[in-house]
Every structure is written in C-alpha cells, then in structure tokens.
Amino acid sequence: MRERRYSVCALDCPDCCSLFVEIEDGRGVRLGGNPAHPVTQGFLCGKVAQYLDRVYSAQRILYPKKRVNGGWERISWDQALDEIAGRLEAIIRESGAESILPYSYAGTMGYLNGSGMDRRFFHRLGASRLDRTICSSAGGAGLTAALGARVGAPPEDFRFAKLIVAWGANIHGTNIHLWPFIVEARRRGARLVVIDPIRTKTAALADLHLAPYPGADLALALGVAHVIFAEGLEDRDYIEKCTEGADSLRRLAAQYPPQRAGSLCGVPPEDIVRLARDLATSQPAVIRLNYGVQRSERGAAAVRAIAMIPALTGAWRHRGGGLLLTTSGAFQINRQALERPDLQPHPTRVLNMSELGRILTEASDPPIKALIVYNCNPAAIAPDQNRVVAGLRRAGLFKVVLEQLQTDTADFADYVLPVTTFLEHTDLYFAYGHYHMQLGRPALQPPGEAKPNVEIFRLLAERMGFDEPCFRETEDDMIRAALDSGSPYLAGITLERLEAERSVRLNVGEPFLPFAAGRVNLDATGLDYEPPLESRLGAAELASRYPLELVSSKNDDGLNSTFGHRPRVEAQNSLLWIHPQDAAPRGIESGHRVRVFNGRGAGEWIAKVCEDVRPGVVRIPSVGWNKNRPGGAGVNVLTSSRLTDAGGGPTFYNCLVQVVRCVDHSDTGSYA
Ligand code: SF4
C-alpha cells in the first residue's frame, strides 16, 4: 500500500508546484502534481516528475567531506563544523569578517533554506553581503520603474484573454502550468503571439512568431507604442486617470516609426503594426513577459517599456488583461524577522554576484578569503567563467560548498557538506508565477547524514558562539515570524492554516486587477534605444571579429545547472544551434564538432543546423556542467560580466561569438 505525502517543488521556476510523493516501504517511488492546486492542476513538468533520480542518485553526497592531498576524506559533522568555524574565526582575525562572502541563489525557493538562517548567520558574522542579481534584478528594476510593484495578472486569468503575447517567454519549457490556461483561452478563440529570437516549442505552437535580434526588445516595444499613438489606438481615459508621464512616452515613441524600429530590432515593420493593433484592439490582451528579455544591456529599459504597453491600451482594466512578469512582490513577508539584518555589527559592503570573477580575482579592502556557497553552482552558471574559475583556483581562498551532488563548484571546495532536497525538509514557499503561499513538510527521510541549510547554519552559529535566541529558533518559529508582517495580503495566513490547507491564496482580491485604477509611470526618460555593444548593430569592430550573436537560453529539460547529472539533458546542452545560412559558408553540417569562441573564451559543441534560430544568431541550451564539456569549458566561458542598464544583472544574451568547424577532432555524425 502506497502512502502519499505532500510537498512543494522548490526549484527556480515560476510555477512553484504543489506535489505529492508516493512512498512504498519507506522509499519514494513516484512524484505527481497535486490535482487540488489551482495552478499545478495535477501534473508536473517532465524534469521534476523524474526528480527521484536525484534524490536516490548514486552521486548524492551523503556525508561531510574534506579535501585532503587533492582527494576527499569522509569526516564527521562535528569535525567539519569545528574546522570550518575555526578557519572562519582565523580569517576574521587576520582579514576581517568582510573577507568572507556568502554566495547563494535560488537552488531552493524556500524562504527558510534560501534566505533564513543563512542570512542571520552571515549578518551576525559581519560578512560581505551578496547582491543577488544573477537572474531577475534587471527585470525587477524595469518593472518597478513602470508599475511601482512586482506584481501582475494572475495566471489563472489568462483563460479570459483574447490575445496572449509571450514576450521572451518559452511557456512550454519554463512555465508549463500557464499553458492549460492558454489552451483554454485559445479554445475560446484567443490568439497566441510569441516574441523570441529562438523558435522555441512555444513559438512553434503560436499563431504568430516574431524573432527580434537578441537584446533589441526595447526598439520593438517603442515601435509598438509608436503605432498605438499614431493610429489613435490608445485608451485615453485610462491614460488620463491611471498614468503619468504619457506625453514623454508619446514624444519618444514618435521617433520609432515601424520602419526604423524594424531595422533596429529585425522584425518586419508590417508585423510591428499588426502586433500593435492586436494589442490595442483585442481586449483582454495579456503579455507574459519572462526574464529572457532582461538579460541584455538594455534589459531593464526593455522591461520598463514593455510594461507600459498595457497601460497605453487600457488592458489592465480587464480580467485576463495586463502583463505578468512576476508575482513575487505580493508575498510581503516579514524579511526583517526572517533575515535579521539588524545583527550586522555595521552596514557591511555589498558585492554583486554577477561579477564573481572580478570579485575573486580583484576585490581588495579586504580581498575575499572565504567563499561559502549554497543553493548555487557559480563555477557553471556565473558569466565570464574563465575568470570565475581562476578566482576559485586562487591560492588562499577557503571554500565551503553545501550541495546535494558533486557540482563543478563542489569540485573546488575545501569542505563539502551534504544537504537535503526539498522533499526532505520543512520550508515556506512564495511563488513568482502565481499568488499561492505554500508549506512543505519533509516527505522523505534525508539520506545519509544530509541536513537542511537551516540546521547547518544553526550549528555553525553555535560553533561560532552566537548566542542570540534567533539562532535557536525552530523552522516553525521562523515561519511564524515571517508570516507576521502586517501586510494585508498575508492577513489570516498562519502556519496552522497552511498546515491544514497546504496552499493558501494571498488576499489579493478576486479578481485581482492590480492596475485597473493605476498608477502606471509612462515617463520615458532614459528609454531611448541604443543597440547593445555586443550585438551585430553595436560595436562594428567587435562584430566583424565575432559576427554571430549567441543566446544561451534555458534548456527546456533543464533548470539552470540542477540537472547536469542527467546525460540526456547534457546531450542537449552540448549542441550549438546554427542557421543553414551561417553553417554553409563555414562548411558546418549537423553533427560536426564546432569551436565557439570570442575574446573571453572558447569551447566545443556539436552543430545542430536548423531554422529554429534566425540567420546571425546561434543558440547553446544552458546551463550544463563544465565537467561534462570538452576541456571543462561551459557556455559561460563565452558570456560577459558586463552589467545591465539597471538592477546590476548580467547580460548573458548579448554575446558575440565566432563559430568554426573543428578540424582536430572526429565528428560525432549525429546529434541528440
Ligand atoms: S520545475 Fe516548475 S513546473 Fe516543474 S515541478 Fe517544479 S515548479 Fe512545477
């Protein structure tokens, strides 16, 4: 007889699924989506439906280990914690606490294990703080500049839309639980338009696919605004009552007629006109904007301009209209209580995680002497990988990695500590693709000696002699503190209620029309479009040496580097998609080994010649594990640590490269 226990998917995905695990003889045997959850609706994506392969992987790290003479030695938790605490104390004595840098991102989306006891620990330590910019900060800055909040149309309301525009959003690959609502809307006659330089699965299923140049979305958005104003399609009543600054947008948009906008962004002018007319006249019209758009030099401005469009057309008035980039701003927990920034001895310096290579190799006053990595694999996912790796190899850098599997980053560690998966610990979950707060309880026994991050940092705090009561709090204490924020969105949401119901919708109202009454900022100051430096229209000299634009967009079957242990995922990550027009003059055919390079680095991939990329653009699905790549060169040897126009994010998708056929290796003759 199988027992069913419920949990929450903690991976970095907007869907934040409610799921169950079926257990037989104490072992998880199957995962499934919770049919009672209004967004999960009873199914999981393919990548997490197989997640038990990770839980029970032979590669799972089960015990603390220490690097000894270039190899690994199993050690006890007591030894690991004592020695790590001892090293940190010595480093603080010699160089000060700001020479210690925590490095984490969204390996878990749980509050407690993602930004709970760890933050308390590093704040109390007085360590350097990390600006967690690597994924969404530019988009957050752009969205907030236009809308004032990181909220948007609820996914459940997409079913009411008449037009859905997936802008930089591969819904099929990275937001699959939105798809049923789109299917329902299309059954009622809605149209789906996809804007993406790549013909993704979502684009292939659309009524219309527009493929702008990478990083040129701002020009496209300004062209759309031009047509809306020029043809008198704007909702004047909404603009008057619910926006400010519209005149400045009108003036700027006047400079981007479809011909000019089209030449800047690579979309035919007639398609810009058609898109603008559709957005203005097919109400409710909703834009599903995702984070691909903001990974470029003008990424924040692009998000800001796109977020203005529903205000021009009055789409926010309608249920099923508006825009969705994120819902995270509605989860207004008590961060002060959870993270305890007040524990800092003084306001410590903040370092941008997107510049890790520079930080490890150049930061001074003081230089980084210890790096504590958790929920993240920077050796693979951070831009300018050669520099990051040089930093990780630096003599005298003490490295501790909390991990489930032996990642590229764990390979550099002095100590590796085994951590639990989301199926094995308690956590509280927000979402960035819906409005349901969820509680996850342990469904499975942790294997070996794996511990949750919360417990590891609690134990480290004890070893360091931190005696503040917050370091003795239980997970339930922390959840109660986080929920006690006074936000009306969280009113009545308690641990007990989450325990009983598992998932509780925030009090955002039903229907939730976040900007039906404004106030949207249409001030276009600073929104002028300049082609990104690393683009075919940017620096001509650079473009002549590296004439192809690389988009390292997410693998549909991967999730950042989480599934680097799956050979099938890594086979996909080994491909370079190239258009026949670019492949032919280089003598490249599908299955050929190719060398991809620029001034930052080089690596080898296998050519997949196809028309799913436009001429001049190549794609490498990301993010693979470096150790699975020839010479250990992952795709981020090519990407730049240049930052976005706002928000301090990385510009992964403005990346010029050259591609040549390898002559010194045999071809594979096939590709996955
Ligand atoms: S990765 Fe996303 S779609 Fe897949 S189970 Fe997790 S939350 Fe759901």
CATH class of 65-134+338-505: alpha beta
Mean pLDDT of 588-595: 98
Sheet of 18-24, strand order: 3-8, 18-24, 27-33
Q: Measure 150 CA to ligand 1 centroid, in angstroms.
A: 21
Rounded to an integer, what distance in angstroms lies between the CA atom of residue 599 and that of residue 468? 50
Q: Measure 9 CA to ligand 1 centroid, in angstroms.
A: 6
CB 31 within 8 A of CB 48: yes
Model confidence at 669: pLDDT above 70: no
> Could you say which DSSP state residue 565 is in?
T
Sheet of 322-324, strand order: 208-210, 191-195, 163-167, 285-289, 322-324
The pLDDT of residue 423 is 98
Mean pLDDT of 79-90: 98
Q: Is residue 16 lining ligand 1, measured as CB closer than 6 Å?
A: yes
The pLDDT of residue 664 is 63
For 101-131, what is each residue's pLDDT tens digit? 999 999 999 999 999 999 999 999 999 999 9
Model confidence at 395: pLDDT above 90: yes
The pLDDT of residue 363 is 77
Q: Is residue 134 lining ligand 1, measured as CB closer than 6 Å?
A: no
CB 296 within 8 A of CB 654: yes
CATH class of 533-661: mainly beta
- Among residues 105, 136, 291, the alpha carbon closest in space to that of 648 is found at 136
CB 592 within 8 A of CB 608: no
Nearest residue (by CA) to ligand 1, atom 4, is: 45
The pLDDT of residue 21 is 98
CATH 3.40.228.10 fits 137-325, yes or no: yes
Q: Is residue 98 lining ligand 1, measured as CB closer than 6 Å?
A: no
Mean pLDDT of 79-101: 98
The pLDDT of residue 665 is 52
Ligand 1 pocket test, candidate residues 6, 8, 12, 13, most atoms within 8 A of CB: 13
CB 155 within 8 A of CB 324: yes
For 302-331, what is each residue's pLDDT tens digit? 999 999 999 999 999 999 999 999 999 999
Q: Measure 597 CA to ligand 1 centroid, in angstroms.
A: 33
For 349-363, what is each residue's pLDDT tens digit? 999 999 999 999 997
| Token code pair at residue 87 | 């090293």
Mean pLDDT of 21-30: 96
Q: Measure 35 CA to ligand 1 centroid, in angstroms.
A: 14
Q: Is residue 217 lining ligand 1, measured as CB closer than 6 Å?
A: no
Burial 551-563, CB ≥16 within 10 A → b, else e: bbbbbbbbbbbbb
Q: Is residue 506 lining ligand 1, measured as CB closer than 6 Å?
A: no
Mean pLDDT of 152-176: 97
Rounded to an integer, what distance in angstroms lies between the CA atom of residue 542 and that of residue 548? 10
Ligand 1 atom at shortest distance from the alpha carbon of 45: 4
Specify the amino acid at residue 531. P
Mean pLDDT of 396-401: 97
Rounded to an integer, what distance in angstroms lies between the CA atom of residue 186 and that of residue 162? 8
The pLDDT of residue 667 is 52
For 460-478, what is each residue's pLDDT tens digit? 999 999 999 999 999 999 9
Q: Is residue 178 lining ligand 1, measured as CB closer than 6 Å?
A: no
The pLDDT of residue 265 is 97
- pTM for this entry: 0.96
Question: Which residues 6+ apart lie within 8 Å of 127 measured at CB?
Answer: 97, 98, 100, 101, 102, 348
Nearest residue (by CA) to ligand 1, atom 3, is: 45
Q: Is residue 324 lining ligand 1, measured as CB closer than 6 Å?
A: no
For 482-528, what is each residue's pLDDT tens digit? 999 999 999 999 999 999 999 999 999 999 999 999 899 999 999 99
Percent of all residues in the chain with a pLDDT value above 90, rounded to a whole number: 97
User: Could you give the angle at which helices 117-125 and 453-463 cross, rounded to 10 degrees?
Assistant: 30
For 442-488, give the DSSP string.
Answer: --SPPPTT-B-HHHHHHHHHHHTT---GGGG--HHHHHHHHH-S--G
The pLDDT of residue 672 is 36
- Among residues 582, 576, 574, the alpha carbon closest in space to that of 548 is found at 582
Q: Measure 322 CA to ligand 1 centroid, in angstroms.
A: 24
Ligand 1 atom at shortest distance from the alpha carbon of 33: 5
Q: Is 424 helix (H, G, I), strand (E, B) or coil?
A: helix
The pLDDT of residue 663 is 83
Cis peptide before 519 (omega within 30 of 0): yes
Q: Is residue 401 lining ligand 1, measured as CB closer than 6 Å?
A: no
Percent of all residues in the chain with a pLDDT value above 70, rounded to a whole number: 99
Average pLDDT over the chain, rounded to an integer = 96
Model confidence at 671: pLDDT above 50: no
Rounded to an integer, what distance in angstroms lies between the CA atom of residue 189 and that of residue 501? 35
Rounded to an integer, what distance in angstroms lies between the CA atom of residue 455 and that of residue 460? 8
The pLDDT of residue 478 is 98
Rounded to an integer, what distance in angstroms lies between the CA atom of residue 212 and that of residue 181? 26
Ligand 1 pocket test, candidate residues 11, 179, 434, most atoms within 8 A of CB: 11
For 48-58, what is each residue's pLDDT tens digit? 999 999 999 99
The pLDDT of residue 364 is 85
How many DSSP H helices and E strands does the chain contain? 25, 27
Ligand 1 pocket test, candidate residues 6, 17, 108, 170, most atoms within 8 A of CB: 17
Q: Is residue 156 lining ligand 1, measured as CB closer than 6 Å?
A: no
CATH of 3-55, one of 1.10.260.30, 2.60.410.10, 2.20.25.90, 3.30.70.60: 2.20.25.90
| Token code pair at residue 244 | 């400010």
> Could you say which DSSP state residue 350 is in?
E
Mean pLDDT of 376-400: 97
Q: Is residue 11 lining ligand 1, measured as CB closer than 6 Å?
A: yes
Q: Is residue 45 lining ligand 1, measured as CB closer than 6 Å?
A: yes
Domain layout of the chain by residue ranges:
3-55, 65-134+338-505, 137-325, 533-661
Model confidence at 670: pLDDT above 70: no
- Among residues 174, 287, 266, the alpha carbon closest in space to that of 553 is found at 174
For 433-459, what is each residue's pLDDT tens digit? 999 999 999 999 999 999 999 999 999
Q: Measure 546 CA to ligand 1 centroid, in angstroms.
A: 36
